[in-house]
């Protein structure tokens, strides 16, 4: 497996691969890799001749009060994991390599970025779309793999690719969970043992919400209230949002009919914010 820190190194390799007619799969990550990331890399490995994993904590998707400085990092462990799955290249640029001093170009997707996590993280998705666009151009990938764990991100990236005619296929991959039901996340490392066990309430509450809908509940507000109440029964948890939106435009729905996303964000303690969701087609 090759390690690249510069855009030119990646482009040189990609040029060789393209000349040989090889297909390329890209897995964009912020590192501190776990089984969730591994599932994306494994899928990319199966479906492409070459696999690139980007490992970059993207500063422009963090707000001024967010955890950019403390975001967990372990590049050596990331390399080992990628190599064990058979990735061909890990791209780990410095922020200055991706963003020159006079960087002025941003990509954004309106409407879909405004609700859910976009409400409390107003610049986040523009940062994501910008870095992802750069990675698509640098890697010339045929396919890129994103987790449903970040469902709003997945919907936004898919829409961006469609709206702006990027030549890439976006593949959504299922949420990988711990045995307790807690969705795997690099940020779980911030949780104390007690918070970690209490955080299983997110998945439990979502499962209950899903069952209500499966049992015929069509009133979104009833499902939302039940899920909110269950999470709020846990004193360590503070709800940021619990919402049901349509899975195309990510707009709130009152009556559940077509495909929906039920998404939640919950604070544990002062600074840990966990997200989880389910999609019902």
Residues within the interface to ligand AMP (CB under 6 A)? 29-30, 36-37, 39-40, 146-147, 149-150, 173, 175-176, 183-186
The residue number whose beta carbon is nearest to ligand AMP equals 147
Could you tell me the CA-to-CA distances from 5 to 75, 187, 223 in Å, in that order?
12, 24, 47
Q: How far apart are the first and last CA of the chain?
A: 38
Minimum CB separation from ligand AMP for residue 146, in Å? Answer: 4
Minimum CB separation from ligand AMP for residue 36, in Å? Answer: 2
CA gap 133, 59 in Å, rounded = 15
CA gap 210, 196 in Å, rounded = 22
37 is catalytic: yes
Please say whether the beta carbons of 175 and 201 come within 8 A.
Answer: no
Q: Return the number of the residue (74 or 232) whose C-beta is nearest ligand AMP.
A: 74
Minimum CB separation from ligand AMP for residue 35, in Å? Answer: 7
Minimum CB separation from ligand AMP for residue 216, in Å? Answer: 29
Residue from 5, 34, 37, 203 carrying the catalytic annotation: 37
Q: Which long-range contacts (CB under 8 A, 24 or more apart) does 133-139 make?
A: 133/107, 133/160, 133/164, 133/166, 134/98, 135/26, 135/28, 135/54, 135/91, 136/26, 136/166, 136/168, 138/7, 138/10, 138/11, 138/14, 138/91, 139/10, 139/14, 139/24, 139/26, 139/52, 139/54, 139/91
Minimum CB separation from ligand AMP for residue 183, in Å? Answer: 5
Minimum CB separation from ligand AMP for residue 145, in Å? Answer: 7
Please say whether the beta carbons of 191 and 199 come within 8 A.
Answer: yes
Could you tell me the CA-to-CA distances from 192 to 68, 236, 247 in Å, in that order?
20, 11, 33
Could you tell me the CA-to-CA distances from 43 to 37, 51, 86, 143 in Å, in that order?
10, 10, 11, 11
Please say whether the beta carbons of 22 and 47 come within 8 A.
Answer: no
The catalytic site residues sit at: 37
């Amino acid at each position: 497996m090759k390690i690249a820190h510069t855009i030119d190194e990646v482009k040189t390799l990609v040029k060789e691969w393209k000349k040989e007619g090889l297909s390329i799969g890209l897995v964009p990550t912020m590192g501190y890799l776990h089984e969730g990331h591994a599932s994306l890399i494994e899928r990319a490995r199966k479906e492409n001749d070459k696999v690139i994993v980007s490992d970059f904590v993207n500063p422009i998707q963090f707000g001024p009060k967010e955890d950019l400085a403390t975001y967990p990092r372990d590049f050596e462990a990331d390399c080992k994991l990628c190599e064990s799955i058979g990735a061909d290249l890990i791209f780990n640029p410095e922020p200055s390599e991706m963003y020159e001093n006079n960087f002025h170009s941003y990509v954004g997707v309106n409407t879909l970025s405004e609700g859910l996590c976009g409400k409390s993280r107003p610049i986040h998705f523009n940062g994501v779309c910008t870095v992802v666009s750069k990675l698509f151009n640098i890697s010339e990938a045929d396919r890129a793999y994103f987790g449903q764990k970040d469902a709003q991100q997945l919907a936004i990236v898919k829409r961006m690719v469609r709206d702006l005619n990027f030549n890439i296929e976006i593949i959504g991959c299922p949420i990988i969970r711990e045995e307790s039901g807690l969705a795997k996340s690099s940020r779980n490392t911030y949780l104390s043992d007690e918070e970690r066990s209490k955080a299983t309430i997110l998945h439990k509450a979502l499962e209950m919400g899903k069952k209500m809908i499966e049992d015929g509940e069509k009133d979104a507000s009833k499902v939302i209230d039940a899920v909110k109440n269950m999470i709020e029964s846990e004193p360590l948890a503070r709800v940021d949002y619990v919402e049901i939106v349509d899975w195309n435009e990510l707009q709130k729905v009152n009556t559940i009919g077509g495909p929906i996303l039920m998404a939640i964000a919950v604070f544990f303690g002062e600074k840990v914010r966990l997200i989880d969701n389910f999609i019902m087609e």
